[in-house]
Amino acid sequence: MIAAVIIASGFSRRMGRSKLTLELGGATFLQRAIRAASEAELVDRRVVVIRPEDAHLVTESADGFAGDKSIETLPNPDAADGQSASVRLAARQLSADPDCAAVIYAVVDQPFFNGAVFDALARAFHAGRGEILVSTYDGKWGNPVLFARRFFGELQALTGDVGGREVVRGHMDSVAEVAMPDPEIGQDIDTWEDYEAAQKRLAERAP
């Protein structure tokens, strides 16, 4: 089994408000992320959302998925520790499942990714290309990133606001890059200006 994790417990300091409830193309950032992970054909329908402790915020931003039992939401009481807290929490949860062979970590503020991104990583893993698979956009590393089960222990030991980068750097012999065809998929929305630009692009594409 390959599980998907959506990291969604950050404080959105540069944005000035929670990104979870921001809408793009008629769906919130969180709805878009959950939909992408859920639609992936090669991810085994286990999607874990690492959320803020404010459950109301998640209910508001994930409306439409509340009844889907394949979506797990885990409150992150250590969110102030940085992204590593989300990575640790998910790795600890998934390590208890002996059928979980790998995890794909994605971030909620990358609203253009889709199920094909998850499938590309899962396909590369099943093909034996590597045990750590990094998405690339125009040759630059980005998210999502897949880690095989043997790294779950190290992921649980991470500290600071580094995500899984330290594990990646420590095992470069196990890393393979998976090129994504559309660089826009990898765009992070970090500021209000980024958000307005993304809205403008979608509006220009509308029929």
Give the domain ranges of the chain: 2-205
At 136 the pLDDT is 94
pLDDT tens sequence across 50-98: 887 665 556 555 555 544 546 888 888 888 888 889 999 999 999 999 9
**What's this model's pTM, rounded to 2 decimal places?**
0.88
- Cα 147 to chain centroid distance, Å, stands at 12
Fold of domain 2-205: Spore Coat Polysaccharide Biosynthesis Protein SpsA; Chain A (3.90.550)
At 11 the pLDDT is 58
pLDDT tens sequence across 119-128: 999 999 999 9
At 12 the pLDDT is 62
